[in-house]
Structure 1
Amino acid sequence: MKMKEAAKQLNTTPRTIRFYEEKGLLTLEKGANDYRYFKEEDLWRLQTILSLRELGMGTDRIKEALTEASPIHTYLNMQRSALYGEWLQLKDTIHTIETMLQKEEAQLSEEDLFYLANRLKGRKELRDKWEDEWNFNEQAKKYDLMIKTTGYRFNVHEGYDEALERVKVLADVSETCVGLDIGIGTGNLAEKFIHQGNKMIGVDQSEEMLKVCKEKHSEIDLRHGHFLALPVMDKGVDFIVSSYALHHLPDEKKITAFQEMERVLKPGGIIVIADLMFTDQKEREKTLADFAKEGNQEAIAAIEDEYYGNRRVLVEWLEVNGFSVRTEKINRILHVLKIQKSI
C-alpha cells in the first residue's frame, strides 16, 4: 500500500507520516521513484503511533515504547493500556468535580480550586511517571533461573515456593472465579490458579516478561500495565494476587495501588499478596543493624535498593478503609497478606 492510501485509511496525512518517519518512529520500504510502501505491520505500527499521540504521548516516549519487531498483539496491548490510563484520569476528574459541586457555592474557596488542580495533577503524575528502575525487560528470559532459594549470603527468594503456595491456599477460590495477577512476571503464581481451572488476567509493565509468560502459559490473558493503572474494568475480577512485586513501590504509592485494586475487585473479593516487607519501622532498623554487625553489605544494599514495605502502615490504612486483613510471616523479610472488604 502506498503512503497516500495508508494516510486515507488511517485518517491522517502523508505529511504526518513523513514527520514520524523523520523522527525514526517508522521505517518504510522505498520503491521506484522513492515511493514509500506500507506492509501490514507498518500499518499497525502507524495506528499505534497515531493513537498514542492522540492521548498526548510525546514522540520520544513513543519511540522508546515501540520496538522494531513488535507483533500486532503488542501494539494493541499498548493502545489498551494508554486508553485505560486516560479513562482513569477522566474518572478522577469527574469524581473530584462532583465532590466540589456538592458544596454550597458560597463555601467554595481558592483552597478548593488549588486542591482540585493539585489532586488531578498528582494522580496523573503517579500513573505517567511509572518507571522500571530494575530493567525487568533484560531479566525476563533468565528470570526463572535467577529464582534460587539457596546459595546466597542474602537470598530474597528464600521461602519463594512456600509463599506462592500460601497465596493459593489463602485465596481459597472456586474454579469459576476470575483472577488478576499484578506483576505477573513469568507466570509462576498464576500457574497455580490456572491448574485449578481459574481464568487469569496477568498484568506487567515489562513487555519482555509478558512475552516469556505467553510462551509458558498461552491461556493467560496478558495485559501491559502496572499497579497504579490496571487495564481492567471496574469490578472486573473476583480475586487479586501478587508476589514479589509490590515492594517496587514506595509505601505512599502502595496505598494508591490498593485503591486501584479496590476499583477492579468485585464486592467481597479477595486480595492475597506475598511480598518483601518488615513488620514495622523498628524491625527494619534492627534488621539492618544486625546485618551491619555481621558485615553483610550485600543484604543492606538489596534492602535499600528497593522499597520493602512497612506492614503496620499498610494494615492500618487497609483496616481504616474497611478491609479485614490477615497476616503471615514466612521469614524475616517475606510476608503474606490476605485482604478482604465487606460486601
Structure 2
Amino acid sequence: MQIKEVARKLNTTPRTIRFYEEKGLITPKKNEGNDYRLFTDEEISRLSTILTLREIGVPIREIKKRLENKNMTMSDYLNIQRSALYEQWIEMKDMITTIDRMIEVEQTDQVKHAINNIYELAQHLKNLKKIRKNWQDKWDFDSWAADFDHYIKRDGHTFNVHQDYDEALNRVINTIELASGETCVDIGTGTGNLGAKLLSKGVHVIGIDQSEQMLMVCKEKHPAIETRKGHFLALPLMDNQVDGIISSYALHHLTDNEKLLALEEMTRVLKSNGQICIADLMFVNKEHRQQMMETYRREGNTEAIYSIEDEYYGDRSKLVDWLMQHDYIVETYQFNNILSMIYAKKK
C-alpha cells in the first residue's frame, strides 16, 4: 500500500507519516523503479500504534523505546495500543466522575464550602493523573525476563525474599474459588507461574504485565494464558469483567498510595461477587516493620535492609482496612516475617 492510501486509511497525512519515518519510527520499503514508499500490513499496524500513542501525549523517544524490538508482531502492536487506550479511557472516567461530584457539591453546599470542596476535588483528580503517569519500572523487568524463573528459585544468602515461594503460590490457588469457564486476572504475571496453576481447572486466565519481555516468555511457556500489556494502576479491562484477581510478588513495587489506587482498579474490574487473592512482601503493620528493621540492623543484615528500602514492602493492615471499608470480607495468612497473603471477597 502506498503512502497516500495509508494516510487515508489511518486518517492522517503523508507529511505526518514522513515525519515518523525521518525519526526512525518506521522504515517502509521503497519501489526501486519510482522510489514510492510501500507499506506492509505490519508497517501499517506499527504506524497505527505510533499515532495512538502520540494522540495521548507519549513522547517520540518513549515510543521509539517501546517499539525498538524488531521482532514485534501485529498482535504485539495491538496489545500496546490497547494498553494505551485503556489508560486514556480510565483517565477520562476519572475526569467525568470528578465533574459529576463537582456539580453535586455546587448544587448542595453553600457557596463558600462549595468552592473549597470543588478545589479539593480538582486537586484529587490532579493527584490521580500524576500517580498513574509517574509510575516507572525502575527495576528494568524486561532485562530479568530470560532468567526470571531461575532467579526466583535461587536461595538467598542472608535474606531470601523468595522463601516459601511455592507454598505461597499454591495457597493462593487453593484459596480463591473459581469454576471452569470463569475469568481470572493475574496482575504482574511475570512468566506466568501463578496464573498457569489455574489452567488445569478450566479457568480463563488473563496475564497482565507492564514488561513486554515478561509477557513474551509467559506466552511461550503457557500459550493458554491471554497476555495483555498493562499495570496495577491502569488495568486493560472493562468494568465488572472478571470473576477473580490474583497477584504474587508484584504489589510491593507500588508505594502505599499507589497500592490503594491499585485496589480501586481491581474493584472496578471485578464482578459483584468477585474475589482478590494477593501473596506479597508486606509487614503486618507499621510496628511490625519497625521491629523487623531493628532486628536486621542489630544483626548487621545489610542485604535485608537494602532489599526492603529499595522496594515498597506493604503495610498489610492498611490494605485490609481499605478492603473492609469497601465491603469486602477479608482473610489473611502469614507465611513468614515478610510474606503474607490477603484474600478478599465482595459482600
Query: Considering the TM-score relative to the shorter chain, is it more than 0.5?
Result: yes
The aligned counterpart of 2:248 is 243
Indicate whether 1:94 and 2:99 are aligned.
Answer: no
Please say if residues 169 and 194 of structure 2, whose CA atoms lie closer than 8 Å, have aligned partners that are also in contact. yes
Q: For residues 31 and 127 of structure 1, do their structure 2 counterparts lie closer, same or farther at Cα, with a shift above 3 Å needed?
A: same
Please say if residues 98 and 122 of structure 2, whose CA atoms lie closer than 8 Å, have aligned partners that are also in contact. no
* Deviations, residues 249-294 of structure 1 (Å, cap 9, x unaligned): 0111100000110000111211000000011111112211211222
Q: For residues 276 and 86 of structure 1, do their structure 2 counterparts lie closer, same or farther at Cα, with a shift above 3 Å needed?
A: same
The aligned counterpart of 2:122 is 117
The aligned counterpart of 2:38 is 37
Indicate whether 1:281 and 2:282 are aligned.
Answer: no
Equivalent position SS for 1:223: strand
The aligned counterpart of 1:71 is 73
Indicate whether 1:154 and 2:159 are aligned.
Answer: yes
* Deviations, residues 154-198 of structure 1 (Å, cap 9, x unaligned): 110000000001101110222232111100110010111111111
Indicate whether 1:300 and 2:301 are aligned.
Answer: no
Of the three residues 79, 82, 97, the one matched with 1:80 is 82
In 2, Cα distance between the equivalents of 1:197 and 1:42? Answer: 37
Equivalent position SS for 1:234: coil
In 1, Cα distance between the equivalents of 2:259 and 2:156? Answer: 31
Indicate whether 1:107 and 2:120 are aligned.
Answer: no
Alpha-carbon shift at residue 149 of structure 1 (Å): 5.5
The aligned counterpart of 2:328 is 323
Letter in 2 for 1:74: D
Equivalent position SS for 1:102: helix
Alpha-carbon shift at residue 28 of structure 1 (Å): 2.5
In 1, Cα distance between the equivalents of 2:12 and 2:6? Answer: 8
Alpha-carbon shift at residue 3 of structure 1 (Å): 2.0
Please say if residues 145 and 217 of structure 2, whose CA atoms lie closer than 8 Å, have aligned partners that are also in contact. yes
The aligned counterpart of 2:17 is 17
* Structure 1: gaps spanning 5 or more residues: none
Letter in 2 for 1:121: K
Please say if residues 81 and 225 of structure 1, whose CA atoms lie closer than 8 Å, have aligned partners that are also in contact. yes
The aligned counterpart of 1:175 is 180
In 2, Cα distance between the equivalents of 1:88 and 1:149? Answer: 38
Q: For residues 149 and 23 of structure 1, do their structure 2 counterparts lie closer, same or farther at Cα, with a shift above 3 Å needed?
A: closer
Letter in 1 for 2:84: A
- Aligned-residue CA RMSD (Å): 1.6
Equivalent position SS for 2:194: helix
The aligned counterpart of 2:236 is 231
Alpha-carbon shift at residue 25 of structure 1 (Å): 1.3
Equivalent position SS for 2:201: coil
Equivalent position SS for 2:207: strand
In 2, Cα distance between the equivalents of 1:43 and 1:101? Answer: 43
Please say if residues 29 and 37 of structure 1, whose CA atoms lie closer than 8 Å, have aligned partners that are also in contact. yes
* Structure 2: gaps spanning 5 or more residues: none
Please say if residues 149 and 159 of structure 1, whose CA atoms lie closer than 8 Å, have aligned partners that are also in contact. no
The aligned counterpart of 2:59 is 58
The aligned counterpart of 2:4 is 4
Q: For residues 25 and 101 of structure 1, do their structure 2 counterparts lie closer, same or farther at Cα, with a shift above 3 Å needed?
A: same
Alpha-carbon shift at residue 151 of structure 1 (Å): 4.8
* Deviations, residues 81-102 of structure 1 (Å, cap 9, x unaligned): 1111111111111111112222
Letter in 2 for 1:107: Q
Equivalent position SS for 1:47: helix
In 2, Cα distance between the equivalents of 1:20 and 1:134? Answer: 30
Equivalent position SS for 1:180: strand
